[in-house]
Amino acid sequence: MKQQQQQKGNGAAGHHHGVKKVVLGNIWVSDSRLNMERFKSVKPTLTIVNRHGPCSTLHPADQKLSLEQILSIDQSRVDSIHHQISAISGKGKTSGPLSSSQITAQYGSSFGVNAYIIKVGIGTPSKTLTLAFDTGSDVTWTQCKPYISNTDRTPITKKADSGPYYYITMTGLSIAGDTLPICSTVFSKAGTIIDSGTTFTQLPPDAYQALRSAFRKHMTQYKMVLGISLFDTCYDFTGFDNVTIPTVGIQFLNNVSLDLDPDGIIYMIPNSQGCLAFASNSDPSGLGIFGNVQQKTFNVVYDIPNGEIGFSPNAC
């Protein structure tokens, strides 16, 4: 199976000397522009929209969820994944081949649960259906065009106790170009899956604490404010037209390192406030999850026959 998705964010990723400059509200890098020409030849595409975004037909355009609702629903999904895998494995510790298709995943600009939907036409005459797009579900895609091959690849595995989810080996984190001192067993103890249906990446407690501590050291010029739900590192950017944040990288096997888009580092909320866009598992043995906010602006290629997943930066 080779399945490709293209996570679309609000802007382009880039970094200079370990920092990123972002514009409030849009969160895009002010001095970086992307060349989209190399993607124009990859057709056909399927457009995926945020189910609560302005392009969705499932809800009124003005119906928005609060950040507390977003985080609550996302945590419910995390708990559900932990429960499913725990039930299949019996451990009780934690709460026909597909071919290639390219999918342009479009985020709605409004706040809402970051789950994607897609419209497809089936039959003759065609009948349009709205379907959920979720890499944590068993979905079959038909051949459209060979996937883009210029990707950094890392192994994935599907364990007998993992249900529909694929394990990906996270090996480390970096901030402003510096690798954080995190023991590799912190990530390997429970493992990590990749899931497009989970909004924010869930890290083991020790890994999250190291990231949070380093991030705060780079953000001392901004006023910290009270956290919201799972977010405990939030700032008030009132009065700032531009905000400088440290780059954040996630490392996987085969020396694959993903430099995250600004949207995958800081999550903006109303009143010119923003929070570190990661969450911590409460249990060190809890399964880690690589969520969709951190996948934004990457082409993500699932090459199941070869047991690999590929990431291509600057997808959109």
Q: Give mean pLDDT, residues 271-287.
A: 92
Q: What is d(CA 189, CA 25) in angstroms, rounded to the nearest whole number? A: 38
Inform me whether the pLDDT recorded for 55 exceeds 90: no
Mean pLDDT of the chain: 75
User: End-to-end alpha-carbon separation of the chain, Å?
Assistant: 24
Q: What is d(CA 95, CA 213) in angstroms, rounded to the nearest whole number? A: 27
pLDDT tier, 5 (very low <50, low <70, confident <90, very high otherwise): low
Q: What is d(CA 45, CA 104) in angstroms, rounded to the nearest whole number? A: 6
210-227 residue pLDDT tens: 999 999 999 999 999 999
**Domain 2-311 part of CATH 3.30.1360.120:** no
156-168 residue pLDDT tens: 998 877 788 899 9
Say what the pTM is.
Answer: 0.64
Q: Give mean pLDDT, residues 23-35.
A: 37
- Of 8-22, 41-55, 140-154, 289-303, the one with minimum mean pLDDT is 8-22
pLDDT tier, 76 (very low <50, low <70, confident <90, very high otherwise): confident
285-302 residue pLDDT tens: 899 999 999 998 898 888
pLDDT tier, 2 (very low <50, low <70, confident <90, very high otherwise): very low
